[in-house]
Amino acid sequence: MSITFNFEDSEFKFTDLNKVSSWINSAIKKENCFTGNINYIFCSDSYLLDMNKKFLNHDYLTDVITFDYVKDKNISGDIFISIDRTKENAEIFNVSHETELLRVMIHGVLHLIGYDDHTDEDEAQIHSKEDFYLNLYN
């Protein structure tokens, strides 16, 4: 299957898409799942805010929205990421933009795999998984 990268109203570009794809595939395999069709869509705050309002009835900015098309252990979905949010969050958390962007990218995949962040315990677990996979990227 495939991982694709799309850019909507954003000038952002990756430098090494092959490394990112391999990393995502590796994370999915480590979670005992299979890569289906994963589409990353990188966009602006306003684009993602419109998506948030239209599809989720949420009127606030967010860094990522994940649409789940998973069947069994075949991980598929659309992951929309605001480049504006990841840049701002990188400054807030004092990390590089690349690190924050990779964190949000794997966060979306972890949601597709079945991890949630609705409770404090769930949030701690998903953040631990993000850290684990970020360390594998580097």
| Max Cα distance, the chain (Å) | 38
pTM of the model: 0.94
Phi and psi, residue 117, nearest 5°: -140, 35
pLDDT at 12: 77
pLDDT at 11: 76
Per-residue three-class SS string for 61-125: CCCEEEEECCECCEEEEEEEEEHHHHHHHHHHHCCCHHHHHHHHHHHHHHHHHCCCCCCHHHHHH
pLDDT tens for residues 34-59?
999 999 999 999 999 999 999 888 89
User: What is the Cα–Cα distance from 73 to 101, expressed in whole angstroms?
Assistant: 25
pLDDT per residue rounded down to tens, the chain (138 residues): 799 999 998 777 777 889 999 999 999 999 999 999 999 999 999 999 999 999 888 898 899 999 999 999 999 999 999 999 999 999 999 999 999 999 999 999 999 999 998 899 999 999 999 999 999 997
Looking at the DSSP bridge assignments, the partners of residue 77 are 38, 68
Instruction: Give the SS3 label for residue 15.
Output: coil
User: What is the Cα–Cα distance from 124 to 113, expressed in whole angstroms?
Assistant: 16
The secondary structure element, H or E, covering residue 37 is strand 34-43
pLDDT at 123: 94
